Amino acid sequence: MAKLIQTEEETLLSEAAHGFLSKSAPVSRLREMRDAGKRNDPELWQEMAAAGWAGVLVPETAEGSDMGHAAAHVLARELGRNLTVSPFLSTAVMAATLLRQFSDEATIAKLKQIAEGAITYAMAIDENAKFSQERVELTAEKRGNGYILNGKKRFVVDGCEADRILVLANSNEGLCLFDLTNKSKGMTQETLAMIDSRDAADLIFDDVEVSGESLLGEVGAGYELLKPALEAGQAALAAETTGLAEAAFALTTDYLKERKQFGITIGSFQALQHRAAHLWCEIELTHSAVLNAGRILDESPEQATLAVSVAKARATDTAQKSVQEGVQMHGGIGMTDAFDMGFYMKRARVAAEWLGDYGYHAGQVAQLRGF
């Protein structure tokens, strides 16, 4: 396996992303968008596409930059640090990983549009309060050449603003994946007032007629097709969440160095020092897990499940510890909306649930480790 240290290219990519995002899309931008009731930022996405980010997992045959999963994680981590709002995970990571399993002309065209930033995608998988790709009740009923979809998808991230939706449905012959426009007749988007101020929706399918071409691959192959996309998404979300944890931790250690209480810099209180040091250790382990998941996804993606679940579980837990300690160590100011820590805390909560929470991924690990 490639080494668990950043390559020179990755370091350069990371620096470029850091420079770009801290200027164009820092936390203050999320605050502005929230206050303005905006949930997406198409201009920013265009710039990211121009930098090759939208095509990070699009093959070169479809004019993508095809930098791979580890590179996608470098970007996701910087997006996490800045809490940048973008369809990166849904579109550039998950949809691209899913679609690149096909090489027909129509799919290549879509991948090309993804890389160009011309279309965005959302993944419609969950139907319940907790993540599970197994319990699918949305039905796809064969009619003529096409299908009729009926049911409801929950917590579809980017579900309002995405141009297209990848829908997991249950047919008589097993799970299927459909690639639909988000304006299909019979579809309703119920906007969710998300605590992280981002785009998510419940999608209602009421006799939605779709053509036979919108079915991806074989009937019944839905889960096999979805799996690599899900794992890519989980790992990239782990990378994003790790970036979030690091940024919240940096805010906290800065505060510990500057804030005085009872006349003494609070960072000199040993109890806080040890808690901060412990948190640093946690972040360090999580960072390794994310690096490892990236390497394995790039080198032997079919064996990535364990590595991905370790990364997602660790990142979920670490980010929550980081924001919780962040608020507590900041005291009152950490609780105010005027300070950024709350944004980190809310995003950490949403990221914890999306694509499987700690318990889900720890369960995967236990299963793969034989207990």
Q: Measured from the CB of residue 256, what is the shortest distance to a second copy in angstroms?
A: 13
Q: Which of 37, 104, 262, 270 binds a second copy (CB under 8 A)?
A: 270
Under the criterion CB under 8 A, does residue 257 sit at the interface with a second copy? Answer: no
Which partner from the list another protein, a second copy, none does 292 bind, CB cut-off 5 to 8 Å by kind? another protein
Under the criterion CB under 8 A, does residue 367 sit at the interface with a second copy? Answer: no
302 phi and psi angles, rounded to 5 deg: -70, -15
For residue 35, what are the contacts with CB-CB under 8 A and spacing of at least 6? none
Under the criterion CB under 8 A, does residue 274 sit at the interface with a second copy? Answer: yes
The number of beta carbons lying within 10 Å of the beta carbon of residue 339 is 16
- Closest C-alpha among 188, 169, 171 to residue 126: 169
Which partner from the list a second copy, another protein, none does 46 bind, CB cut-off 5 to 8 Å by kind? none
Which partner from the list a second copy, another protein, none does 102 bind, CB cut-off 5 to 8 Å by kind? none
Give 18 or 275: the residue with its C-beta nearer to a second copy: 275
Under the criterion CB under 8 A, does residue 338 sit at the interface with a second copy? Answer: no
Q: Which helix (H) or strand (E) holds 72?
A: helix 69-82
- Closest C-alpha among 112, 124, 204, 209 to residue 162: 124
Q: Measured from the CB of residue 282, what is the shortest distance to another protein in angstroms?
A: 8
Give 13 or 256: the residue with its C-beta nearer to a second copy: 256
Give 7 or 211: the residue with its C-beta nearer to another protein: 7
Give 165 or 210: the residue with its C-beta nearer to another protein: 165
Q: For the purposes of burial, counting CB atoms within 10 Å of the CB of 212, is it exposed (0-12), middle (13-18) or buried (19 or more)?
A: exposed
142 phi and psi angles, rounded to 5 deg: -65, 130
Q: Measured from the CB of residue 159, what is the shortest distance to another protein in angstroms?
A: 12
Q: Which of 129, 193, 271, 338 binds a second copy (CB under 8 A)?
A: 271
Under the criterion CB under 8 A, does residue 261 sit at the interface with a second copy? Answer: no
Whether residue 215 contacts residue 177, with contact meaning beta carbons closer than 8 Å, is answered with yes
Which partner from the list a second copy, another protein, none does 145 bind, CB cut-off 5 to 8 Å by kind? none
The number of beta carbons lying within 10 Å of the beta carbon of residue 30 is 22
Q: How far apart are CA 282 and CA 274, in angstroms?
A: 12
Give 34 or 142: the residue with its C-beta nearer to another protein: 34
CA distances from 300 to 2, 197, 254, 288 (A): 11, 36, 40, 18
End-to-end CA distance of the chain, in Å? Answer: 27
Q: Measured from the CB of residue 314, what is the shortest distance to a second copy in angstroms?
A: 24
Give 194 or 272: the residue with its C-beta nearer to a second copy: 272
Under the criterion CB under 8 A, does residue 23 sit at the interface with a second copy? Answer: no
Q: Measured from the CB of residue 214, what is the shortest distance to a second copy in angstroms?
A: 43
Give 255 or 343: the residue with its C-beta nearer to a second copy: 255
Under the criterion CB under 8 A, does residue 273 sit at the interface with a second copy? Answer: yes
Q: What is the 3-state secondary structure (H, E, C) of 208-259?
A: EEECHHHEECCCCCHHHHHHHHHHHHHHHHHHHHHHHHHHHHHHHHHHHHHC
The number of beta carbons lying within 10 Å of the beta carbon of residue 366 is 11
Give 80 or 267: the residue with its C-beta nearer to a second copy: 267
Contacts to a second copy by CB under 8 A:
269-271, 273-274
